[in-house]
Structure 1
Amino acid sequence: MSWIAECLSRVTRPMRLRLRRTVTTLSLTTLALTVLPPSVLAVEYNMPVGVTAVSREIHSLHMIIFWICVVIGIVVFGVMGYAMIKHRKSRGAVSASFHENTRIEILWTAIPLLILVVMAVPATATLKDMYDASESALDVKITGHQWRWQYEYLGEDVAFTSSLATPREQINNTAAKGEHYLLEVDNPLVLPIHRKVRFLTTSADVIHSWWVPDFGVKKDAIPGFINEAWTRIETPGTYRGQCTELCGKDHGFMPVVVEALPEAEFDEWLIARKAEAEAALNDAGRDWSLEELMEKGEKTYATICASCHQPDGQGMPPAFPSLVGSAIVTQDMQAHIDIVVNGKAGTPMAAFADVLSPVELAAVITYERNAWGNDTGELVQPAVIKEQLSQ
């Protein structure tokens, strides 16, 4: 131990203090890891096992690779530590002099190659299962928008958008944050358990990424491309995820929520949702009062528009102009309809023709023309929007 004493004698007092703090921190950490139960450690520091066969395969593969890396680390650093202690200069050790040792070169090439082969076999099997999206019982098209998801059940005439439901008061730190802060939505994606569901992901603007860790699914949504993924959920429940691509200033406000229902309950939900969609089409054909449109428009604006134009309509110029007293909002009705329906090229203003229903479009336009003191008294009927969308 004389070499340790010799090294410590050369360490300055500040360095000794830092070393002592480091040792204390490591000791406390080790004690905490010893006391905490394994279940807590797994939740806090490991990836979830998940509720699908693929997610369990991914977790098993992760643990295999992890323990291989642990063994490699122990062997490599163990040999290094042994060499530094056993063959240190203070004991009179002299470094060996050799060159082009063929046996050693073959050994340090063959061993890593063998390790890679051992890792590649289970990884290939897992990747093969992850990419097999054939023979699905239900197809769901997922379209990313800044900053919400649009879900379409292909062949079922059911589609809706899913937006962040966390109150703005929590985001602005004027109210206590809820249990699922920034991980709650107004319309979750509803799926059946025990059925193979294929996801077709794309984007209407920038690159997004749809991720639910409990499913073992993470797939990029790229404009102009369709990417495939699939899942078969085994346990009913609510599962949460997020967009994992940096898709803009509100990237953190784009959560994913999936409700997995037993098959019979899902079938009932789908029938009810179809009836709602049919009722919405009928609503687009009737005349709405200003009060009705204002009430619905306020809710639509808070969900869709407030993140950019602010709840009070003041916006964030120059990117997101104020709607209070705006010429386009208070004067030309058709220009107002065009920019909401079709967006504006070269600006952050997106098109909402494929995001909102005719009733929602009419309501939010009416609301903007009569809120925050604009008070134009004008309204637009959903039938007018529906007719323009069909042209």
Structure 2
Amino acid sequence: MSLIRKMTLFVASFSALLLSGCGDDIKYNMREGVTEISREVYELHMIAIWVCVVIGIITFGVMFYSMFAHRKSKNPNPAKFSHSTAVEIVWTAIPFIILIALAVPAVGLLIKMEDASDSDLTIMVKGYQWKWEYKYIDGDDNLANDVRFFSNLDQASRDMSRNAGSGFSGVKIEDDNYLLEVDNPLVIPVDKKVRFLVTSDDVIHSFWVPDFSVKKDAIPGFINEVWTKVDEPGTYRGVCAELCGQDHGFMPIVVKVLPQNEYDAWYAGKVAEAEAGPDLNERTMSQLMAEGEAAYNKYCSSCHMPNGEGNGPFPSLVGTEMITGEGSLTKHIDTVINGVPGTAMQAFGSQLTEAEIAAIITYERNAWGNDTGDKVQPQEIHDIKNGGGE
């Protein structure tokens, strides 16, 4: 096959692939999204794509014509000239004009994307390894009735990941939302300008929801600002777009956009939960173990493994001094609540409820053959967190 024919086939194949993403079934193209900003981004993207297509057709057309019309067999004696000033001016001026023509609307759109003023709602978004925390803030940038919660990967996706060996064992996972579902989605109202204040508690994360054209880095010690105004109720999904650690792919983002009346009802429920306070009811050992196993699998098993034997820098919890040593209960509780500075062990005191912490500690001290008999109640954790314990 001749070189010209090979190059022609390549251009034809590439063009077919490009055009296949420009039709109604947008399989290879950018999402148009559900916000005014996302649609403007999509339109600018399509303009740039078609400019590139035209440039490519002209460039390759001239190149192929030159290769064919001026081939050695037809013109054995090449022309002798060094350059053309007019041609050089043209091929410098045209790209400059194209860049300016694209830059003007792009800069205008970027300025618009950065303008989060006059927002109807502000939400603090904080990234953790590997979860998101959402805090609803009122107009004075204070916590709105202390409505805050964490959003973790749902247990079904965790179970599928373990059963499928993270997708590398040949087991086919047919769930369309595999690794894209959470236990507590972010909820916002439709047709309201929502400002996100994005930061991180540990390493750099990135808050990305493609349907909103929202992508902002979450950096420890910094607060970045981005906003959205969604036109259509629905459920929209995103991910952390920064390589933030071994479970980077296990911290998805799910946003539920509700009509105003449904949002108000949801928000009122969250306010009522916050005002009700923590559940400090005493539990039996069987209740603590059942709740502890569920909470351990959600929050702890990715590091310490489902069998408690640890993994790399994450220590084992089976028969260790931390778990079974004399007087170790106090240190165990302190470690879970306050973490271990300088290590990957996070402080879970502000991330989990008193009931979850009590259940996890009880479970870890009585699972996998540890059998210490220790039982921790939510009230004990509450007293310690509020300075009333030892």
TM range (shorter): 0.7 to 0.9
Equivalent position of 1:128 in the other structure: 111
Equivalent position of 2:317 in the other structure: 323
Describe the SS at the equivalent of 2:122. strand
1:167–1:72 Cα change, 3 Å: closer
1:34–1:266 Cα change, 3 Å: closer
Describe the SS at the equivalent of 2:359. helix
1:231–1:388 Cα change, 3 Å: same
Describe the SS at the equivalent of 1:70. helix
Describe the SS at the equivalent of 1:228. strand
Pairwise CA distance, 1:360: 1.8
Deviations 1:139-197 (A, max 9, x none): 11111111111111123211111111134441134576323111111111111111111
Name stretches of at least 5 consecutive residues in structure 1 with no aligned partner.
Answer: 9-15
Q: Within the alignment, does 1:250 sit opposite 2:250 as a pair?
A: no
Which of these residues, 165, 188, 193, is aligned with residue 190 of structure 2? 193
Describe the SS at the equivalent of 2:300. helix
Q: Within the alignment, does 1:60 sit opposite 2:49 as a pair?
A: no
Describe the SS at the equivalent of 1:91. coil
1:341–1:233 Cα change, 3 Å: same
Equivalent position of 1:206 in the other structure: 203
Instruction: Check whether the contact 1:170–1:176 (CA below 8 A) recurs between aligned residues.
Output: no
Equivalent position of 1:11 in the other structure: none
Instruction: Check whether the contact 1:200–1:227 (CA below 8 A) recurs between aligned residues.
Output: yes
Q: 2: distance between equivalents of 1:345 and 1:35?
A: 52
Equivalent position of 2:23 in the other structure: 38
Equivalent position of 1:359 in the other structure: 355
Equivalent position of 1:172 in the other structure: 162
Equivalent position of 1:162 in the other structure: 151
Instruction: Check whether the contact 2:237–2:255 (CA below 8 A) recurs between aligned residues.
Output: yes
1:172–1:137 Cα change, 3 Å: same
Which structure's residues are more often helix, by fraction? Answer: 1
Identity within the alignment, %: 52
1:252–1:282 Cα change, 3 Å: closer
Q: Within the alignment, does 1:303 sit opposite 2:298 as a pair?
A: yes
Q: 2: distance between equivalents of 1:27 and 1:124?
A: 33
Q: 2: distance between equivalents of 1:226 and 1:30?
A: 42
Pairwise CA distance, 1:219: 0.8
Q: Within the alignment, does 1:143 sit opposite 2:126 as a pair?
A: yes
Is the deviation greater in 150-159 or in 232-241? 150-159
Give the alignment of 1:68-79 within 5 angstroms.
68-79=51-62
Describe the SS at the equivalent of 1:38. coil
Give the alignment of 1:263-342 within 5 angstroms.
263-279=260-276, 281-284=277-280, 286-316=281-311, 318-331=312-325, 332-342=328-338
Q: 2: distance between equivalents of 1:354 and 1:146?
A: 14
TM-score of the two chains, using structure 2 as the length reference: 0.87
Describe the SS at the equivalent of 2:199. strand
Pairwise CA distance, 1:291: 3.3
Describe the SS at the equivalent of 2:346. coil
Instruction: Check whether the contact 2:308–2:317 (CA below 8 A) recurs between aligned residues.
Output: yes
Amino acid aligned to 1:219? K
Give the alignment of 1:80-119 within 5 angstroms.
80-92=63-75, 94-99=77-82, 101-119=84-102
Give the alignment of 1:2-13 within 5 angstroms.
none
Q: 2: distance between equivalents of 1:352 and 1:35?
A: 48
Aligned residues: 370
Pairwise CA distance, 1:237: 0.9
Equivalent position of 1:183 in the other structure: 180
Q: Within the alignment, does 1:50 sit opposite 2:47 as a pair?
A: no
Q: Within the alignment, does 1:345 sit opposite 2:341 as a pair?
A: yes
CA RMSD, 1 decimal: 2.8
Equivalent position of 2:140 in the other structure: none
